[in-house]
Amino acid sequence: MRGSWLRRVVGSAQYKPMYSVLLLVLAVAALGVTLWTFRHWQATRSGLILFVLLPLPALPYELFVAGIGRWLGPGQTLLELSGLPILWWTLTLPLALFSVATLCRRVGFSWARLDWGHGAVCIVAVVLLLWKLPVIFTIKQLRLASWEDTVRYVPAVPVVPLSLWLVFGAFMLTGLGLWRRERWRWLALPLVVALVLLALPVAVVGPIPAYLGKVLGFVGMAGTAVHYGYRFTIRPDNSILKTF
């Protein structure tokens, strides 16, 4: 009798996915990473940290907007909110490559010690930024994308993912070099996982893995930037700031 009653209750219950809540949880985590990185940039004023920090605020904002889309619903409000992180990614994400160039040179990679090697990465960052600037004028060309209980607007043409792939790829290669040279694996590992998650088809698995990949990627980038930012920052009295 009890088993029959339990089956009726479970069978009559409607399953309501809460992926939107998961996006909000990721937004809180991303906000924590952003504030943590900002605090360490304030302590060091390191350019290495700064260029990783600049694109970071767009991540919790994007996750928050995607999370509340379920309750806002499709419409002009959600559309306008969705455009801001795309604009911010466009303007700041290529600048993270400056951190790659600086980090590789400070650590002592042979190619980065050459002016042309270090400069080439910086030129790629500038070219990528200039290439993506026209996106600012087409920022309203977004399409509605929904999956399970999530509702969001995404670019009609996937402009940001290309920049994200290039930046994450550059940091992953840098991380592999750091792992081999200095036994620092906390850049390569998160970036490898992040790229795998980003490669999963959104139409099949939904947006959660891609968002999780972004968070993991920036965790690795921020952690590494802070670690080496302290290592290569000099106080006014010429003493080195203590690294964590």
Question: What CATH number should be reported for the domain holding residue 64?
Answer: 1.20.1070
Q: Does any domain span residue 9? A: no
- What is the pLDDT, as a whole number, of residue 138? 57
Structural domain boundaries enclosing 117 = 22-231
pLDDT tens profile 192-230: 999 999 999 888 888 999 999 999 999 999 999 999 999
* Residue type present at position 136: I
pLDDT in tens, 45-75: 999 999 999 999 999 999 999 999 999 889 8
Say whether pLDDT at 4 is over 80: no
Flag whether 216 is in a domain: yes
Q: Is residue 3 part of a domain?
A: no
Reported pTM: 0.84
Residue 181 lies in a domain: yes
Per the domain annotation, does 40 fall within a domain? Answer: yes
